[in-house]
Structures are given as C-alpha cells and as structure tokens.
Structure 1
Amino acid sequence: MARTEYYDDSNAPEPNSMVVAASAVVTDEEGRILLQRRRDNDLWALPGGGMEMTDSLPGTAVREVKEETGLDVEITGLVGTYTDPLHVIAYTDGEVRRQFNVCFTARVVGGELAISDESTELRFVAREKLDELPMHHTQRLRLRHFMEHRETPYLG
C-alpha cells in the first residue's frame, strides 16, 4: 500500500482518522542514527508506527523498532510530541490520517539488523550525511530537535 504525505497543502484530502504513533531516534556507539527507507513512499524515516490497544507509547516505539529493523532497543529519553494538523498522510486504501507522534530516543540492547516488509533499506547514518537522503520534512524536524540536545522536549 502506497502513501502520500501532505504538508500545508490545500489539495490534501480531508483526514478521516487520527492515529497515535511512536517513533525512535536509535543511535549506535558512533552516534550514527538508524533510518529506514520506507517501501510505501521510498523516503528515509525513523522507525515507528501506530500504537496498539495493548501498548504503552514507549512500548509502541520498542515494538515498532523491533518489527521494522530487527533490533531490540531500550528507551532512553523523549525528543518531543508532533501533532501538526497541517501534516496529512493519505494511503491508497482510502485512509487519510492525522498522526499524533511521540518521538523517543533509544539505544540498541540486542537483536540483528534485518529489513522488514515495510522497508527496502536500513542504515545507520552519520549526522553530517542526513541532508543527502530524501526525507519528508517532518522527519527532518524530529532529527533536528534530537541533534539540538534540547533541555526540554519539543511540544508541537
């Protein structure tokens, strides 16, 4: 199923769902950031996804990282909350969502890096190489907030 992301676009379809989601900035021992190239839009993104009824938000991030990358992680902090109503995601099945995303920081505690059916590539990326990758600007915003080493989480 393909997806199209809209931001502040008057041609964007009206949302018909709201999804609570979590993502994680996972770093390795060299400080590189784990990214996945999404199969549904061919853009690079942080691992993450929708919360299930049995999940906590941090648990969602841990589960999604495992499902999408094969790695076991431990949550270490909070980057921020991302709830911008101008960001709309349309799927080919007719779902048009607004997403409430909470972005955490995490470190690897086990597992083996493995591509899932949601991605075509996984890579730990050096911070100075992030601008070279095609990525939606909402992902770049989360990464920028992470790299700013903020005293308090972003609330937006």
Structure 2
Amino acid sequence: MARRDYEDDPNAPEANSLVPAASAVVVDEGGNVLLQRRTDNGMWALPGGRMDLGESIGDCAARETFEETGITVEITGIVGTYTNPGHVFSYDDGEVRQEFSICLLARPTGGTLRTSDESFEVAWFAPDAIGELPMVPSIRKRLNDWRAGQGPVVR
C-alpha cells in the first residue's frame, strides 16, 4: 500500500486515525546502523511499525525489526517519543494516520539480513554515510537525535 508523509504541511489531509507504533535504531558492535528501503515510498527508514494488541512497545520494535530485516534484536534504550500532530501519513486506502511513535535503541542478537514485502533493500551503514540517503524528515530526525546522544527526546 502506498504511503505519503506530510510534516507540518498546510496542505496535508486531516488525520482520521491514531495508531501506536515503534521503530528501532539498531546499532552493531562496529557502530553501524541498520536501515531498510521501504516498498511503500522508496525511502530509507528505520525498521518499525504499528503495535499489536497484547504487545509491549519493545516487543513491537523487536518484531517489526525481524519481520522487515531478518535481524533479531535486544532493546537497550530509548531514543525518543514522536507525537507531532502536524505529522501525518496518508495511505491509498483513505487512512490518514497521526504520528505516535516511540523510537527505541537496540543491538542485534542474531538473524540473517534479508528483505521483506515491506523492504526491497536492507543494509548496515556507518553513521557518517546516512546523510546522503533519501529518507523522510521524521526518520532523519530520529537518526539525528540518536547521533546527538542527549538521551530520550520528546517531540
């Protein structure tokens, strides 16, 4: 399903749903970060997605990371919370979702790098190599918050 991100755009459609979600900044022993290239918008992103009933936010981030990249993770911290009501995702089925995402920090514990139906490319990147990658501003913000290392942020 196609998705378009709007952030503080006066022409954005009005939100009609709010769904808790998690993403993960997965960092390996060499300091590289795991990213996926999404099938819905072609942009590089952190693994993540909507939280299921009966699931903790940490379990959500770990599940989504495995589903989208093939890598199992251990959650080690929090990067920040992201709840900007001016940031919405418009899907081609008519849903317009207001952002409500918690970005967690994780380390890989196993698995094999692979793509999924949500990602057509998955790779590890050195932090200084991610600046030129095409990604939506909200993902870049999470990565910048992680790189700043100032502890959990609330946005």
TM-score, normalization: structure 1?
Answer: 0.97
For these two proteins, the number of residue pairs brought into alignment is 155
Please state whether the residue corresponding to 2:42 is helix, strand or coil. Answer: coil
Q: Which runs of 5+ in 2 are unaligned?
A: none
After TM superposition, which residue ranges in structure 1, 4 or more long, deviate above 3 angstroms?
Answer: none
Distance (whole Å) between structure 2 residues aligned to residue 65 and residue 110 of structure 1:
12
Distance (whole Å) between structure 2 residues aligned to residue 2 and residue 139 of structure 1:
17
- Equivalent positions of 1:58-137 (< 5 A) are 58-137=58-137
- 2:153 alignment counterpart: 154
Q: Which runs of 5+ in 1 are unaligned?
A: none
Distance (whole Å) between structure 2 residues aligned to residue 131 and residue 115 of structure 1:
22
- 2:28 alignment counterpart: 28
TM-score, normalization: structure 2?
Answer: 0.98
Distance (whole Å) between structure 1 residues aligned to residue 141 and residue 13 of structure 2:
23
Contact 2:113 / 2:123 at 8 angstroms: preserved in 1?
no
> Deviation string for 1:95-154 (max 9, x for gaps)?
10012100000011111111010011001011111111001111111101101111x310
- Equivalent positions of 1:135-146 (< 5 A) are 135-146=135-146
Contact 2:21 / 2:101 at 8 angstroms: preserved in 1?
yes
Q: Does 1:39 align with 2:39?
A: yes
Distance (whole Å) between structure 1 residues aligned to residue 9 and residue 124 of structure 2:
32
Amino acid at match of 2:135: M
Amino acid at match of 2:93: D
> Deviation string for 1:57-108 (max 9, x for gaps)?
0110011001101111000010010001111100001110012100000011
Distance (whole Å) between structure 1 residues aligned to residue 7 and residue 108 of structure 2:
32
Please give the root-mean-square deviation of Cα atoms over the aligned residues, in Å.
0.7
